[in-house]
C-alpha cells in the first residue's frame, strides 16, 4: 500500500480506505489477520495513534473485528436487507441462503390503556382494543443482528401467542389468518443503541444502528402490525430498488 502525502485526506483515512479496498476485492479474505497498529506504524512511518484511528474506522464499518484486544481480522460478509421488499427479515435471509433465527424476549397481551399514542394511531385502535406485544432477538447464522419490537391487534389474531413465534411471524399470519402485507409505511432513523437493546444483542452501546419504524397493511389498507426494529449497522447493508414509471 502507498499513501499520498499530498492528499487532503487524512493519513488514517487513506490507510483505512486502502485496507477496505483489499477486503472488498478479496485480496484480504474473510478471517485474514489485519496488520497490527505497530506493523502499520512501521510500514507507513506514522504514529500508532494514527494506525489505531484507521483500524477503528474499519471496525465501525463492520469490515474487521477485534479479538483478544490487540488482534484484528477480516469480518464475515455482511447481510443484505431489501427495504423495498414486502418479505420479512426471516424470508429475505432464507432466500439468501442464510439461516434465520429468533429468540423470544417478550410475548404479552397489552390492554388499550397501556399503549403509547404511536401504536394506537398506527393500528387505528380504540377502547377496548388490545394488542399482542412481541419482542424478538433476530439472528443470521446464529449471529445477533436485530431486535424487533412488534404490536399486533388482538381482534385480528386472537390466539397469536399460542403459535411458535420463533418461526416467521408473517408466515404464521398468512397460513393461519390469511393476512399478508401488501404495503407498508416506514420511517428510518439513525439512532443511539439503548443499553437494553445492546444487552439483548450482546454488543457495545456505541454500535451504529438503524431504527426502522414500520406499519404494515393488507391489500384493504388494514394496518395489522406496528413495529420498531433496531438493526446493527455494522452487520447489515440496506438496499432499496426503484424503477422508472
With beta carbons less than 8 A apart as the criterion, state whether 150 and 169 touch. Answer: yes
Q: What is the pTM of this model?
A: 0.81
> What pLDDT was estimated at residue 245?
61
- For the chain, which residues score pLDDT lower than 50? none
Contacts of 189 (CB under 8 A, 6+ apart): 210, 211, 213
Domains and CATH numbers, the chain: 11-74 (1.10.10.10), 79-239 (3.40.1410.10)
Q: What is the pLDDT of residue 8?
A: 80
- Mutual angle of helices 11-25 and 48-60, in 10-degree steps: 50
What is the pLDDT at residue 120?
98
Question: How many angstroms separate the first and last alpha carbons of the chain?
Answer: 45
Query: Strand, coil or helix: what is 218?
Result: coil
Residues 208 and 60: beta-carbon distance below 8 Å: yes
Which CB contacts under 8 angstroms, 24+ apart, belong to 191-194?
191/230, 193/230, 194/230
The predicted pLDDT at position 189 comes to 93
Provide the pLDDT for residue 2.
60
Give the number of other Cβ atoms within 10 Å of residue 118's Cβ: 13
Amino acid at each position: 500500500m502507498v499513501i499520498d502525502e499530498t492528499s487532503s485526506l487524512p493519513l488514517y483515512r487513506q490507510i483505512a480506505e486502502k485496507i477496505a479496498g483489499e477486503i472488498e476485492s478479496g485480496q484480504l479474505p474473510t478471517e485474514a489477520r489485519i496488520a497490527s497498529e505497530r506493523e502499520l506504524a512501521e510500514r507507513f512511518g506514522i504514529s500508532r495513534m494514527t494506525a489505531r484511528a484507521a483500524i477503528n474506522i474499519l471496525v465501525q464499518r463492520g469490515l474487521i473485528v477485534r479479538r483478544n484486544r490487540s488482534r484484528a481480522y477480516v469480518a464475515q460478509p455482511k447481510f443484505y436487507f431489501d427495504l423495498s421488499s414486502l418479505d420479512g427479515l426471516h424470508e429475505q435471509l432464507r432466500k439468501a441462503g442464510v439461516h434465520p433465527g429468533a429468540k423470544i424476549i417478550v410475548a404479552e397481551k397489552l390492554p388499550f390503556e397501556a399503549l403509547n399514542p404511536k401504536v394506537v394511531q398506527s393500528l387505528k385502535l380504540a377502547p377496548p382494543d388490545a394488542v399482542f406485544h412481541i419482542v424478538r432477538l433476530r439472528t443470521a447464522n446464529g449471529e445477533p443482528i436485530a431486535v424487533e419490537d412488534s404490536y399486533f391487534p388482538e381482534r385480528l389474531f386472537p390466539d397469536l401467542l399460542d403459535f411458535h413465534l420463533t418461526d416467521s411471524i408473517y408466515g404464521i399470519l398468512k397460513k393461519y389468518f390469511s393476512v399478508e402485507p401488501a404495503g407498508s409505511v416506514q420511517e428510518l432513523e439513525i439512532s443511539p443503541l439503548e443499553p437494553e437493546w445492546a444487552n439483548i444483542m450482546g454488543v457495545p452501546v456505541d454500535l451504529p444502528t438503524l431504527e426502522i419504524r414500520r406499519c404494515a397493511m393488507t391489500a384493504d389498507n388494514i394496518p395489522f402490525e406496528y413495529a420498531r426494529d433496531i438493526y446493527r449497522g455494522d452487520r447489515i447493508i440496506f438496499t432499496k430498488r426503484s424503477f422508472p414509471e
